[in-house]
Structure 1
């Protein structure tokens, strides 16, 4: 079940934090609760993605995006994710999530996040391809960037981010069409 109470607490907490520039990093503090864990007593990979979402929502509040979403009746969506898990997070362990905009293109904003343990080790790292949507269509990022008041140039993405974006552009959609068609032709 989605942790709505935790989300509400997170959003209230973010309203008390100072405003930030959209290009500044956001750091949020979290704790792994037993309900976050799987049968191996480590944070469940699905819950990790949910806690990353809370970090993005907090950043959205601090940079003024949350108010803009309400004002313009926009929504947020995730259009792709690449995640790497490296260290376990166990019950009652505290950690921080670091969130920053990696770059954007004409359609998507790429957000990089990491979960860091108390000893500084990175437990997981993720890149999200996100969009702001209006009436089920992506809002062009130049419109979003202007609405946020960003005048700085687009951040130059790291090589691995550029490579991921390029690789995603080659990925077929809908998926597995070729394999399904091949099976049908073999069965005929």
Structure 2
């Protein structure tokens, strides 16, 4: 089940943080902390890989609110969508571990905002995700320039480079839907 209580708590905490002056610039890295709960673990007593993706939602929500994107989403009646992701796992997260999640924008192209997120326990990276995200209006992804204009960063450029550009290129080569 989706962690609605945690999601609501993350929204309240992000609004409170922004209110007391802990807002983020669109170029910054957001950080939240939480504990791995018993509802997050699988039969191997570690955080379930599906839950990892779900909890990454909390980091993106915090980031959106604290950067002001959340306000723009509400004002413009926009939505957010994840159109692709890749996750790497390096270290197990066990029940009751204190987790630090980091979220930042890795790149932006004409249509997509590429977000990189990671989870850390005791200063060691446990997982890292790269997500292709978009802002939607009336069910369609809008150009990122409209988002940047609304955020007051009309001249901000962050083209995909390195592994992000390679991931985009590799994903473009992937047949969709896969042939049997």
Q: CA deviation at 1:153?
A: 3.4
Q: Matched residue of 1:99: which SS?
A: strand
Segments of structure 2 that go 5 or more residues without pairing to the other structure are none
Aligned residues: 176
Q: CA deviation at 1:11?
A: 0.7
Segments of structure 1 that go 5 or more residues without pairing to the other structure are 180-188
Deviations 1:155-178 (A, max 9, x none): 3544111100111112222x12x4
Is contact 2:102–2:117 with CA below 8 Å preserved after alignment?
yes
Q: What residue number does 1:135 align with?
A: 138
Q: Matched residue of 2:107: which SS?
A: strand
Q: Once superposed, what is the RMSD of the aligned Cα atoms?
A: 1.2
Is contact 2:109–2:158 with CA below 8 Å preserved after alignment?
no
Q: TM-score, normalised by structure 2?
A: 0.94
CA distance in 2 between partners of 1:48 and 1:154 (Å): 30
User: 4+ runs of 1 displaced by more than 4 Å?
Assistant: none
Q: TM-score, normalised by structure 1?
A: 0.90
CA distance in 2 between partners of 1:102 and 1:152 (Å): 17
Looking at CA atoms only, which structure, 1 or 2, has the larger radius of gyration? 1
Q: What residue number does 1:182 align with?
A: none
Q: Matched residue of 1:16: which SS?
A: helix
Q: Matched residue of 2:34: which SS?
A: strand
